[in-house]
Structure 1
């Protein structure tokens, strides 16, 4: 799918603002990607207003939840560049090995950090810990204006920007901005107000995440295992715990949610196998419905979409936040080099820069879940041979490793720095 720079937006009215927006950027959505973008823009000296529906507390922000994030190497580089990683590195667990396989088939692919000249391929970090670090870093921003809790209730286009109507506990505020950024998630209000349509694919799957304790130490190894029922992943955490990611068909999700701990662990054990020995002590389970949402355009006049507002991908391969952060840091890089953050040529460069990474990552996640989880016996030898090729053929393994670490297309310069 190509990243189209056209938009279906038709403003209901155009007005002249009472004052010029003076380069102000309005970011709607203070989740993981929106907060990261606001921090990066503030660090670049931009005037930024961040609007977030949740109160500025970790327990109030929906995206700062119990998921265990697999952060690509480029993501950690990017978080370090904006002063966030140092605030949370102590809670992260390095991923030094990755093992990919399919139940009942002979092929597997293994990646080793040392073999690719790095100390880690990525890191595992609870979303709540990253959220806490982002809130602490937001507190140090110099020019950033944060409105939280607050909600965007209306938008009006004028020649040089947007006027946003913001509902806050103190009453309604009107903010003029040269650039409007929609970072407000899969069900983006900004995307809808801009008239940008999205292609939606419901996988009819539900994801359950929790922590478990394996009998054997995972030794900084992440596991991804496919089956007819969907993928299951095991991510290394501190204190010999693991983050379990279990996918089930939506029509049985209610039954799985109702299982007691012993039966849930039995299901996870059956799906994952015994490579880590017996699993035990499951933590609180959290279900998430899975669907793919792809905006048909990333940009509109003086407006842009980032993160899940631009694309929501299947969690297979753990690419969602990683992809969204590269959105945010690419946009921040372009804005920092421009006089006008909402200039059309800037937005078109953003869409062009993001196209290879966005399209490649979305195609990978979508095709992989269909190919690797399709209950088709005739595919079995081809899947096994593909995994063996990635395991044994060095050029293919380098491609797999680099893309897994987030090096695709033209990444933002901030993610190319080495982790300290």
Structure 2
């Protein structure tokens, strides 16, 4: 690539304007890197708060990153800190507990309505100076040119083409960019369906989050404002239609049986949203002058709420490297990106996959070993610190924007 050639492709083309793609666009704009963001959806309008809204669990490292991007000030008023986490297995004696105070921090993470994060990203995107945002716009084709890629983009005003030095696929699990790059993806169907809703427990969660495993899959409760909780219930896929048809009373009773009585009676389940659970992992993260981030790179089991947290670390690592590069799509840069992300990516995928495979197996012979493992994480200080650091999103070599000194 001739950097002095005015006709050479320049800038970064980000395909996908979801949470990860938008975060990457903001990070590149802050670094002064020219970028274009393609978003298939039209610009979002502010929506009123709803009892039924979907909620996100944001790791501490994620909130650090959102602060660095200038996004968090637009969202923090609706965020609820997670100060304690309890992990257990139904019918077994082991429990692992994490306490923010024990690790010298004010919170292990925060819960936030997904709508609030989306609107915070919108407000921050509005203040970007170098970013070109096209919405609605869809990538219809891409072909290599000298020094980059030529993209064909469909907009309401018709098709147009332009060239970019680096193509970024942030376009989700069924990534068009990944497919066009010829990157294979390993797929695993867990045979599970996830139901997400808001519920009201009798006792205030008071900053406590719970993850409980069982033969039918994990169930989680996340603390929300106004004594509410975010309920995440996993069921066998063959039972999904039957459970979706339950009325509110019967659904709350099912959640109660699976979760137990730690917070008293559960009531007022909101509108349920079902999601088929699968694991999709790209065989590699990069192609010629191209890179995958977020769900396009890896879609993981939602256990531990790692999806967006992992994707944001993808975006911030890429932005950090691109900001310091003379050639935005140089092979050495992409190799460095893949190497930097490997420990975090592989460790997180292994953790989420292994947990759901081992913790939910209905094997009585495994019970004492699972219980002992949870007790070790609860009571052995080095294991406790390791669990806390990883739970807060600090794994491998995290991007500078999320780092902080930890005990």
- Aligned partner of 2:7 in structure 1 is 19
Question: Deviation string for 1:63-96 (max 9, x for gaps)?
Answer: xx94311100000000000000010000100000
- Matches of 1:66 and 1:199 in 2, distance apart? 31
Deviations 1:332-384 (A, max 9, x none): 00000111111110000000000000000000000000110001010000000
Partner of 1:370: 357
Distance 1:104 1:204 in 2: 23
- Check whether the contact 2:54–2:198 (CA below 8 A) recurs between aligned residues: no
Matched ranges for 1:235-384 at <5 A: 235-384=222-371
Alignment of 1:84-163 (within 5 A): 84-163=71-150
Q: Partner of 1:106: helix, strand, or coil?
A: coil
Instruction: Report whether the alignment pairs 1:171 with 2:158.
Output: yes
Per the alignment, residue 15 of structure 2 pairs with 28
- CA displacement at 1:19 relative to structure 2: 2.5
Distance in 1 between residues matched to 2:352 and 2:175, nearest whole Å: 21
Return the alpha-carbon distance in structure 2 between the equivalents of residues 34 and 365 of structure 1: 23
Q: TM-score, normalised by structure 1?
A: 0.93
Q: What secondary structure sits across from 1:38 in the alignment?
A: helix
Aligned to 2:177: 190
- Which SS does the other structure have where 1:359 is aligned? helix
> Deviation of residue 159 (structure 1)?
2.0
Per the TM alignment, residue 417 of structure 1 is displaced from its structure 2 partner at its CA by 4.6
TM-score, with structure 2 as normaliser:
0.96
1:304 is paired with a residue of what secondary structure?
Answer: strand
Deviation at 1:20, TM superposition (A): 1.6
| Structure 1 moving runs of 4+ over 3 Å | none
Return the alpha-carbon distance in structure 2 between the equivalents of residues 296 and 241 of structure 1: 40
What is the RMSD computed on CA atoms of the aligned residues?
Answer: 1.5
CA distance in structure 2 between the partners assigned to 1:359 and 1:204 by the alignment:
22
5+ long unaligned stretches in structure 2: none
Determine if contact 1:58/1:131 at 8 Å carries over to the other structure: no
1:227 to 214, 237, 254: 214
Aligned counterparts of 1:184 and 1:402: Cα–Cα separation in 2? 29
Whether contact under 8 Å (2:22, 2:121) holds in the other structure is: yes
Match of 2:264, SS state, is coil
Aligned pair count reads 398
1:44 and 2:31 matched: yes
Query: The residue matched to 1:155 in structure 2 has which SS?
Result: strand
Report the Cα distance in structure 2 between the residues aligned to 1:36 and 1:58, rounded to whole angstroms. Answer: 18
1:251-294 alpha-carbon deviations (Å, 9 max, x no partner): 11011111110111011010000000000111111111110000
1:295-330 Cα shifts (integer Å, max 9, x gaps): 001000000000000000000011111000000000
Shift of 1:37: 0.3
CA distance in 2, matches of 1:29, 1:78: 20
Q: Deviations over 1:9-35 (max 9, x none)?
A: xxxxxxxx992223x100000001000
